Amino acid sequence: MPNKIKIVTIGGGSSYTPELIEGLILRQEQLPIAELWLVDIEDGAEKMEIVGSMAKRMIAAAKLDWQVHLSLDRKEALKDADYVTTQFRVGLLDARLKDEVIPLANGLLGQETNGPGGIFKAFRTVPVILDIIEDMRQLCPNAWLVDFTNPAGMVTEAAIKYGKWEKTVGLCNVPFGHITQACSVLGAEENDLYFKFAGLNHFHWHRVWDQQGNERTAELIDKIYSPDQQETSDEGLKNIHQIPFNYDQVKHLGLLPCGYHRYYYLQEPMLAHAIEEFEQYETRAEVVKKTEARLFELYKDVNLNYKPEELSQRGGAHYSDAACDLIASIQNNSGKLMVVSTRNNGAIADLPFDCVVEVTAAITSHGAEPLRWGALPPAARGMIQLMKAMEETVIEAAVTGDYGAALHAFTINPLIPAGDTAIKVLDQLLYAHKAYLPKFASKIAEIEQTKPEIVTFVDQLLADRQAHAHRA
């Protein structure tokens, strides 16, 4: 009988939790689970009770004897854990709304993991992941940290580089969509194709081969991105407006792009669409708030003991499934190939050895072994080196609270114009998120005292969005 394991999920009140439970149930023969702990904060207690009750129904329906615990005490939950998964959102969806509407009100992209919003999600999240690691160091020093809290690449790098937690792997659902897309276009099963990804979280490229060793990347580029084939260009990403890529540009690079590359290759039309949504009070955060409200009403049904189809509309499908696959692969030393965020270790020749990248890796009992990609073409190399420098600077600012580092991160980011606008949006977001940015407390106090126009603008903007939501 294999040793029983304990899994702790931080952010257990998330609407994604039923998918996590389903994934664990499907892998019950690979995972000898004894205890499953769902942990959340006081503000998430009601949702955790709803989701926790549903999790218990799902596990009972599967006739499993797993003990399910719900807790608001992280330290109680972490004691002797084997795997710790994270799916939390600091500041909840209200914080995401601020990340979106404040930049958009200034004519900049407002998005969860890109542009100013992505930077601020890291500012709020990195200190928390480091606090979690300090608890783990005391309570479960041998546990694996499986992160799919966004921005997953930067959170993973902070955990490894600053938290010194080597047993950390980051995950994202985006590669699943691209794999499914390629299989559909080629009429093949996933096991019939070989995928190789390389880049950063939400900023990767990939290549594809078949079982006979023939590379199918160029064929996929033609079938997905040529002007007469655009109906195949849907990667299944619910939260990205899928404007067609420029075929000549994709063909020139010879690599299949990540759906999130639209924000960089197609900045103008993507921004225009985002501003249109903003003006219609339909930013992604505002849409997701409504979706989540419907999901939790479903979850309250005492007869519901399975993951509802509506969850696939949430935008993050397969996050939890990926986490379950990863845990099973580590637990069983399977060597399965997965796309994960892990230390580069020379896999991408153009990036620092010790930085975190998102690559195809073999998953073993000692972690992820990244597959060597080599060098990227110049057009991709220049972009990825800039983005990695930006990520490193963001993490530095998140850890230290250094305003100069934060401004430098804004300056480096390709989606933010340098100068007065960058300073203004940075200050607005600092003020808006002051409850979750203790590292920047002194700078925020200075902004409140010396820049009343910042305070007035943010307060009025957020009051308008809130009033509209209540009217709706």
Which listed residue (83, 225, 247, 260) is catalytic? 260
**Coil, strand or helix at 162:** helix
Find, among 420, 411, 425, 434, the residue nearest to 454 by Cα.
425
Find, among 411, 404, 418, the residue nearest to 389 by Cα.
411
Whether 260 sits among the annotated catalytic residues: the reply is yes
Phi and psi at residue 115, in whole multiples of 5°?
Answer: 65, -155
**How many angstroms separate the CA atoms of 403 and 368, rounded?**
34
β-strand partners of 338: 361
**How many angstroms separate the CA atoms of 66 and 104, rounded?**
46
Q: What is the DSSP string of 412-424?
A: H-TTS-TTHHHHH
Q: What is the DSSP string of 338-350?
A: EEEEEE-TTSBTT
Helical (H) or strand (E) element with 276: helix 267-279
**Which residues in 129-138 are b (16+ Cβ under 10 Å) and which e?**
bbebbebbee
**Roughly how many angstroms between the first and final C-alpha of the chain, as a whole number?**
56
Which residues are known to be catalytic? 260
